[in-house]
């Protein structure tokens, strides 16, 4: 009994004789490993998705306030701007030679708790998210007429809207509003595919539509005696006088910092420009506690699985003293007993972690489409990456270390017992 192959063979046969306990231990390690690797994959993809909520946009421009505030209301539809931007300033900046494209944004209205965003068709052409993905339509098309609207996936699903239905926009961004633009309803002409971003919870209309519903309004309310019908406002000049913010894509990223400085020093009105990636990183630092908590929970589950393995091996020691004595009688040395017990723990860990990896990969393959459609989570179907392999290796190393304790106890017993058998 001198070779490593013999020790491994004995370890395998020993586990086979205790297959019920071995299977339960393997399942415990597999589930805990799968949870750790799954949480790590979701955590990585969530962070990546968060960081690419807006992708391919070089600058976001708004009224001077704070970087995070501008990002929150222009991309995440949270909060409100301190001021608007004049249409003249927007056109002047968007017309700079270094600018490739621009997307104007107008906020301030809502529909049954969902934010309404006014923009133009360049939004559907140039806006990118999640590693440069384009906006695509589940149904319909982009708006063309003044009173057309395109809904995000969550809006359509939660409110049960279909193409051709009419919706009424409310004044203000609150969940409840008593001021409705009910004389000028919008018709649903498109529903976007789910993106997993704030786009899903946004009602999109044209800038002309925003101007049209406020054409007969003055100081936040409908002007007395000046009510205009939907047909009448179509005869008016609906070019906006002001917008909330706008996105810029540049011909060369080398020009980003120069244009940003120029906008921040813009003499006509107080403006600021932010680089989305930098500000997203700042925002993530504020909420990364959730990321750490998820990782901590999965590590606790792994520890629980390893404790289960330790408990199973320790419990079997008392029942195996006769087995150890027989092995000693046929020539096994104490270090053979140590190697045997360590090999059993290593086999349990290797099989359990391998099964956990297969489980995560299989679930990713089976649920990738459903997660994308239902929650907008783009979970890649792939073998574990470097960090996941590192975690798997750490679990194996921890399992090997855990198995050393019962192995040491078996070694001590073998030395003390010799051929004696405890009754």
User: What distances in angstroms separate CA 229 from CA 110, 151, 184, one per listed residue?
Assistant: 20, 24, 7
User: What distances in angstroms separate CA 412 from CA 121, 241, 408, one per listed residue?
Assistant: 77, 86, 6
d(CA 215, CA 218): 8
d(CA 102, CA 193): 23
Query: What is the structure's pLDDT at 204?
Result: 97
User: What distances in angstroms separate CA 283 from CA 195, 211, 251, 399, one per listed residue?
Assistant: 20, 32, 27, 37
Task: Give pLDDT < 50 ranges for the chain.
Answer: 1, 418-423
Q: Please, are residues 111 and 165 in contact by the beta-carbon 8 Å criterion?
A: no
Query: What is the structure's pLDDT at 325?
Result: 60
User: What distances in angstroms separate CA 102 from CA 90, 125, 252, 327, one per listed residue?
Assistant: 9, 10, 14, 79
d(CA 204, CA 282): 28
d(CA 395, CA 151): 46
Q: Please, are residues 406 and 313 in contact by the beta-carbon 8 Å criterion?
A: yes
In DSSP terms, 171 is beta-bridged to 109
The pTM (predicted TM-score) of the whole model is 0.73
Question: Which token pair is 101?
Answer: 């494209």
Task: Tell me 79's DSSP state.
Answer: S
Query: Within a 13 Å sphere around the CA of 338, how many CA atoms are in the beta-carbon half?
Result: 10
d(CA 333, CA 329): 9
Task: Tell me 377's DSSP state.
Answer: -
Q: What angle do CA 391, 392, 397 make, to 5 degrees?
A: 95
Which helix (DSSP H) or strand (DSSP E) does residue 294 occupy?
helix 289-317
């Amino acid at each position: 009994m001198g070779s490593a192959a013999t020790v491994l063979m004995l370890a395998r046969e020993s586990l086979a004789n205790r297959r019920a306990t071995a299977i339960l231990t393997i399942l415990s390690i597999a589930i805990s490993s799968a949870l750790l690797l799954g949480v790590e994959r979701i955590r990585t993809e969530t962070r990546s998705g968060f960081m690419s909520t807006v992708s391919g946009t070089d600058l976001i421009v708004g009224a001077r306030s704070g970087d995070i505030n501008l990002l929150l209301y222009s991309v995440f539809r949270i909060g409100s701007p301190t001021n608007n931007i004049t249409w003249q300033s927007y056109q002047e900046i968007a017309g700079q030679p270094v600018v490739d494209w621009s997307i104007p944004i107008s906020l301030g209205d809502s529909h049954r708790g969902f934010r309404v965003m006014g923009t133009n068709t360049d939004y559907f052409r140039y806006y990118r998210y999640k590693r440069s993905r384009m906006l695509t339509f589940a149904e319909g098309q982009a708006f063309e007429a003044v009173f057309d609207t395109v809904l995000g996936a969550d809006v359509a699903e939660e409110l049960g809207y279909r193409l051709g239905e009419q919706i009424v926009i409310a004044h203000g961004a609150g969940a409840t509003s008593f001021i409705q633009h009910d004389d000028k309803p919008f018709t649903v002409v498109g529903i976007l595919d789910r993106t997993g971003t704030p786009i899903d919870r946004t009602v999109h209309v044209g800038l002309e539509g925003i101007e049209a519903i406020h054409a007969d309004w003055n100081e936040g309310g409908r002007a007395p005696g000046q009510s205009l019908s939907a047909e009448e406002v179509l005869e008016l000049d609906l070019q906006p006088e002001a917008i909330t913010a706008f996105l810029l894509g540049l011909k060369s990223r080398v020009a980003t910092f120069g244009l940003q400085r120029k906008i921040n020093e813009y003499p006509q009105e107080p403006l600021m420009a932010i680089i989305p990636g930098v500000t997203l990183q700042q925002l993530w630092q504020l909420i990364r506690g959730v990321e750490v908590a998820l990782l901590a929970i999965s590590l606790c589950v792994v520890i629980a699985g390893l404790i289960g393995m330790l408990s199973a091996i320790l419990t079997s020691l008392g029942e195996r003293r006769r087995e150890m004595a027989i092995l000693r009688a046929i020539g096994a040395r104490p270090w053979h007993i140590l190697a045997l017990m360590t090999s059993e723990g290593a086999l349990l860990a290797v099989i359990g972690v391998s099964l956990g990896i297969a489980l995560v990969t299989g679930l990713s393959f089976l649920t990738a489409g459903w997660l994308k459609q239902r929650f907008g989570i783009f979970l890649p179907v792939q073998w574990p990456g470097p960090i996941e392999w590192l975690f798997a290796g750490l679990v194996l190393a921890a399992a090997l270390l855990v198995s050393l304790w019962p192995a040491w106890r078996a070694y001590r017993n073998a030395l003390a017992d010799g051929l004696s058998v405890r009754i």
